[in-house]
Amino acid sequence: MVNTVWVDELDGARTDEVRALLLAAKAKDGRPDVEPLGPLPSEFTGGAHLLARVGDELVGYAHLDTGGDSFGRKVAELLVHPAHRRNGYGTVLVDALVERVPSGLRVWAHGDHPGAARIAERKGLARARELLVLHAEVAGADWPEPTPREGRALRTFVPGEDEQAVIDVNARAFDWHPEQGSLTVEQLTQTEKENWFDAEGFFLAEDERGKVVGFHWTKVHPADPERFGGQPVGEVYVVGVDPGAQGGGLGKALTLAGLRYLRDRGLTDVILYVEGDNAPAVAVYTKLGFSRYQVDVQYAR
């Protein structure tokens, strides 16, 4: 029999349990981006934690963002240990989430797994959002030198100086986005402490007055034996352009600067995430050689 319990904070032993489950899921699915040591990924910190056990063994886990996304919707991440799937534990976790959040709940299904779709249908959860994962091979990619229009210049991020300027642009560029639009200076500064953060791969665009009007933040994921030939993979992490500076190819110039940087680092593959209904962005990335690799789905009640 499976037993579930909510906790507001993970102590050392529970953190180790959850990390072991996340690492097992990563070995099977290639996700989430969790490391054997250090803090858990940000999507599993804070909020509330739902633990599902059979006896003393943790068979399932869900994290609920109790603060909500930019629109106040409670968002959950849910995983079942690969060795214990197809036993109904995912349904048990969803039932507990729905009981706690009767309305306004969002649940991620990474990889658009058919099992997740079946559970969602049974529980009255509708497909509300698609986040596409696009992929491009670096070899043979035609990524020319970026050419921003006259009066615009590109440079790299300076920690301790550029945080507020980036956050200001980010807030205006992503006021519609459930997660990205709420990024704060404090969160950005905290991210700078992560092992993967690389200021040389964080490109800013300035106008003729030296004001930051856009940025491209790149990321490099460590090698995963299950994906991309076991090699590290680059990511077009965030590209943001101030609405008042759009046009003239600034977004494309920033994207090219980051792509060429990732290529120069010797990476063989690059991925990015884009909203499934953002047709203009998908078209731009398609022209740059990206194609659909995976899709993450958010189900809503």
| Annotation: binding site | 78-80, 86-91, 179, 219, 235, 239-241, 246-252, 273
Q: What is the 3-state secondary structure (H, E, C) of the chain?
A: CEEEEEECCCCHHHHHHHHHHHHHHHHHHCCCCCCCCCCCCHHHCCCEEEEEEECCEEEEEEEEECCCCCCCCEEEEEEECHHHCCCCHHHHHHHHHHHHCCCCEEEEECCCCHHHHHHHHHCCCEEEEEEEEEEEECCCCCCCCCCCCCCCEEEECCCCCCHHHHHHHHHHHCCCCCCHHHCCHHHHHHHCCCCCCCHHHEEEEECCCCCEEEEEEEEEECCCCCCHHHCCEEEEEEEEECHHHCCCCHHHHHHHHHHHHHHHCCCCEEEEEEECCCHHHHHHHHHCCCEEEEEEEEEEC
Pick out the residues of the known binding site for acetyl-CoA.
Answer: 78-80, 86-91, 239-241, 246-252
